[in-house]
Structure 1
């Protein structure tokens, strides 16, 4: 399972099949998960001091297949983007990504695609859980780290960092008594040495892209309302 697949399972309510957070956060978090996965695989990196591209910009290291169609699609998108700011690529990385991941999870029998119409007119698809066993395993790992204080593996830490950046940890771990402590623990992990600097930077780039998109949207709304 991809990090993005695990993330999407956590961000959709098992019963209602609706997302627990909105955009641009949800789609950009999936894009961030793609960037993290490709970084962990050694396909891309974020430049440091002394690299051949400017510090903080994207480096493309290896464009050979990952063995996963969705990952390969995003890698191909990044192939000609070396030297760009990763946060500026989140929109491109996220294009149609949610639909692809949802469809694949449904094909695997993990989610169910329930088609309906709002007000009898507008088509909508809900994605309730069909087989929640894998998601339960992922949640168990999250709870062990966030509630019991165990050390996370790299993929679990990546999920926690992404959820923390979205500010949805209490919506995912819903039975915690002290939600502030839960958020604090998640933030500590996100800022700790859980992975290489480039991987942590990928989370920061995703968060920066979300913030920038919200600012643009708010500014557009204010202009329209004036």
Structure 2
């Protein structure tokens, strides 16, 4: 029996893992520090949805009565509802379990396919390849515009581009996103929350997202990248 592909809106962490997937090799860029990056995407998504906020000393806490409906995001909200945490502590707790369920989501959506293979003609393995939805190409185009055209991107795309930059893998995308001085400068601006938006209502979101992104950077730089 074939399961129908998922059609519900994707989370930011799904979009980020899909971007990090490398179709040429069937691997995921930045595996050694992936859990910090995925944890950052979950925190950023909670921030964009106003499910979390910050209190004194920058600790992140859940907004009572506003849990996320998505079960990829809910465990992080529950964790921060029990006790406010610093971003670094939250990343280390939230990130490690995410890779498998997020990848399962992408496979269920048809964005990534699993391909059975045999090694040495004997051992069965599973390789990953890009699906036929075209969603990865669309996300890449959105991020490329955010990094190269200079206009104010949508908040979600700004956060996605900032997280991709924070992961340290952006140079690997030079075929799709030219690795130029202007792109590097814009990426750093997005990391800092300079999205080019003036609305006061977005100021807190930009600041909180920048805090999360820079916590990811701080975590990534102390670990070897793969």
- Establish whether TM, by shorter chain, passes 0.5: yes
The residue number in structure 2 matching 1:78 is: 80
SS at match of 1:38: helix
SS at match of 1:112: strand
Give unpaired runs (5+ residues) of structure 2.
1-9, 196-204
The residue number in structure 2 matching 1:62 is: 64
Q: Deviations over 1:21-49 (max 9, x none)?
A: 2312x2211100000111121211222xx
Q: Deviations over 1:86-105 (max 9, x none)?
A: 20121220122110010011
2:44 to 36, 44, 48: 36
For residues 56-135 of structure 1, what are the structure 2 equivalents within 5 Å?
56-62=58-64, 64-82=66-84, 84-116=85-117, 125-135=126-136
Distance 1:115 1:88 in 2: 38
1:42·1:62 contact (CA, 8 Å) conserved in 2? Answer: no
Distance 2:28 2:70 in 1: 25
Cα 1:148–1:88 shift into 2, 3 Å: same
Distance 1:38 1:175 in 2: 28
Q: Deviations over 1:51-73 (max 9, x none)?
A: xxx31112221354422111112
The residue number in structure 2 matching 1:50 is: none
SS at match of 2:22: coil
The residue number in structure 1 matching 2:218 is: 208
TM-score (norm 2): 0.80
Distance 2:82 2:60 in 1: 10
1:161·1:186 contact (CA, 8 Å) conserved in 2? Answer: yes
Please identify, of 193-202 and 122-131, the stretch whose mean Cα deviation from structure 2 is larger: 122-131
Cα 1:73–1:177 shift into 2, 3 Å: closer
SS at match of 1:126: strand
The count of aligned residue pairs is 207
Comparing both structures, which one devotes a greater share of its residues to strand?
Answer: 2
Cα 1:80–1:116 shift into 2, 3 Å: farther
Shift of residue 169, structure 1, vs aligned partner: 1.8
Distance 1:181 1:173 in 2: 13
The residue number in structure 1 matching 2:31 is: 22
SS at match of 1:69: coil
SS at match of 2:53: strand
The residue number in structure 2 matching 1:12 is: 21
2:54·2:208 contact (CA, 8 Å) conserved in 1? Answer: yes
TM-score (norm 1): 0.80
